[in-house]
Amino acid sequence: MSRSAHPAGPRHADVLPEGHPSAPPADLNHLDRKVWASTVTRTPEGVVSVGGVEVTRLAEEFGTPAYFLDETDFRERARAWRTAFGSDADVFYAGKAFLSRAVVRWLHDEGLNLDVCSGGELTTALSAGMPADRIAFHGNNKSVEEIETAIRAGVGRIVLDSFQEIVRVSHIAQSLGKRQRVQIRITVGVEAHTHEFIATAHEDQKFGIPLAGGQAAEAVRRALQLDGLELVGIHSHIGSQIFDMSGFEVAAHRVVGLLKDIRDEHGVELPEIDLGGGLGIAYTSDDDPREPHEIAKALTEIVSRECEGAKLRTPRISVEPGRAIVGPTAFTLYEVGTIKPLDGLRTYVSVDGGMSDNIRTALYDAEYSVALVSRTSEAAPMLVRVVGKHCESGDIVVKDAFLPADLAPGDLIAVPATGAYCRSMASNYNHALRPPVVAVREGEARVIVRRETEEDLLRLDVG
């Protein structure tokens, strides 16, 4: 369809609110490959399908709102990361992005390792058969019970995040008669080009031990003295939804600088360096993420070059992508409830979910796209804000987008790229029932996390 088929386009452009990112797309029925999972397509009848199953059928069988996860796409992305980094590096999927037992099994199949950051995530991983030595345990305030459970289980590494934790983990390991493999998480003073709340390597924050002022060096000194610890490496995670590799370049430079100082002071070359996660994905057509093989090439080159300069053996690299693996693989399917045009402003489209299934827009001002998926439409584009059903005016799912002007209650719309940090951050606000996650693959759909029920809510309410 050509742009001229939408005479309303320019008129809308005139009334776009200040700061609105772009004009309406040329064809609202078109699905931009960048933001949709790999098997998502529109059938000749105009209905969108994933894994060969039409969304109308999925809505009938599983209800809305619901997350539909393209298992083929997930496995392909996991494999692409694994292959890109090869056998000299490890890929740890960051479980906090989205974790379920099915996901753990897929990761296991595809040869990935797993990051967890709570006892709950650890239990999920172990219960689905992830070998403990392929699990890394993170967090700035792990409880004594969590540390004990992790050490007893035999996790491959614990990432130490504070001076107190260095002593605590050593003490617990010794009391269990073990020596725990650990890394120390440092902050390298890099401000990643991303939203402030998700940038984590500048120093004024709760994670890690600052390189500045010799604090990281002091942490290493202490860890090397403790019998309960086997210090194997240094960890740095600079933020999330990052597109620009220069932040990693600076981080690698500084981490290798520390490895060199450690070698000079203690005569020890630590064998591992972890550069964290944070690689960005496309939420809208304006985003241009990098491919895993480009990222792998860039990171390994940076580390080798820095180590050569410092005359160090190149350590084993690990990375921790969460969003970049699961984010693009799922979309949230909603049914349109009410439609409220506000003259000269925009049209509010209310759906049957909202901030309880996607808090990212309210929390980070995240941008999303949206499409009408139960049918095609030739109607003119209208500027919409997709909102939820919660008692909060900040309950926005998609801040600015275009949907066809003939949108009607009962239509199905889908928000792509909701695989990461949506179900995992879902809440029961307003006693909403958290939506299910349904994996779709080769014509078959199966629930991997079921929808919450009112009985679930009442079961917790024991007063």
Ligand X SMILES: *Cc1c(COP(=O)(O)O)cnc(C)c1O
Query: Min. distance of Cβ 279 from ligand X in angstroms?
Result: 6
Among 65, 233, 247, 276, binds ligand X (CB under 6 A): 276
Site for ligand X in 65-104 (CB under 6 A): 94, 96-97
Report the C-alpha gap between 391 and 430 in whole angstroms. 7
Decide if 270 contacts 182 (C-beta within 8 A).
no
By beta-carbon proximity to ligand X, the closer residue of 291 and 442 is: 291
Residues taking part in catalysis: 391
The DSSP bridge partners found for residue 316 are 272
Question: Which CB, 106 or 334, lies closer to ligand X?
Answer: 106
Q: Does 321 bind ligand X (CB under 6 A)?
A: yes
List the alpha helices (DSSP H) in 357-463: 360-364, 454-460
Stretch that binds ligand X, among 106-114, 144-152, 170-178, 270-278 (CB under 6 A): 270-278
Rounded least distance, CB 278 to ligand X, Å:
4
Cβ neighbors of 378 (< 8 A, separation 6 or more) are 1, 5, 404
Q: Smallest distance from the beta carbon of 94 to ligand X, in angstroms?
A: 3
Q: For ligand X, which stretch binds (CB under 6 A), given 6-14, 276-284, 295-303, 305-313?
A: 276-284
194 binds ligand X (CB under 6 A): no
- List the interface residues with ligand X, window 279-298 (CB under 6 A): 279
Stretch touching ligand X by CB under 6 A, among 141-149, 247-255, 273-281, 285-293:
273-281
Backbone φ and ψ of 90, nearest 5°: -120, 140
Residue 101 corresponds to which tokens in the numbers above? 């037992």
The stretch among 163-171, 186-194, 317-325, 332-340 that binds ligand X (CB under 6 A) is 317-325
Q: Of the candidates 156, 278, 315, 416, which one interacts with ligand X according to CB under 6 A? A: 278
Q: Does 346 bind ligand X (CB under 6 A)?
A: no
Alpha helices in 267-407 (DSSP H): 292-309, 323-326, 360-364
Q: Are 134 and 122 within 8 A, CB to CB? A: no
Q: Say which residues have a Cβ less than 8 Å from residue 206's Cβ, sequence separation at least 6.
A: 140
Strand partners, 38: none
Residue 369 binds to ligand X (criterion: CB under 6 A): no
By CB under 6 A, the count of residues binding ligand X is 17
- Residue 96, both tokens: 């906090």
Smallest Cα–Cα separation from 99: which of 119, 72, 79? 119
Using the minimum distance from each CB to ligand X, give the nearer residue, 279 or 382: 279
Per DSSP bridges, beta strands 48-50 and 53-54 are antiparallel
Q: In angstroms, what is the minimal distance from the CB of 57 to ligand X?
A: 31
Q: Residue 363 CB, nearest distance to ligand X (Å)?
A: 14
Enumerate the β-bridge partners of residue 182.
158, 231
Binding range to ligand X, per CB under 6 A, among 69-77, 300-308, 322-330, 455-463: 322-330
Site string for ligand X, 133-152 (x = CB under 6 A): -----x--------------
For residue 272, which of 137, 89, 94 has the smallest C-alpha distance? 89
Are the C-beta atoms of residues 223 and 160 closer than 8 Å to each other?
yes
Residue (115 or 249) nearer to ligand X, CB: 115
Tokens of 444: 């078959």
CA distance readout (Å), 148 to 154, 310, 448: 10, 37, 29
Cβ-contact 235, 252 below 8 angstroms: no
The single residue among 156, 277, 289, 404 that binds ligand X, judged by CB under 6 A, is: 277
Regarding beta strands 396-404 and 444-449, do their DSSP bridges make them parallel or antiparallel, or are they unpaired? unpaired
Instruction: Rule CB under 6 A: say whether 324 interacts with ligand X.
Output: yes
Nearest-approach distance from CB 135 to ligand X, in angstroms: 13
* Interface ranges with ligand X (CB under 6 A): 94, 96-97, 115, 138, 237, 240, 276-279, 320-324, 420
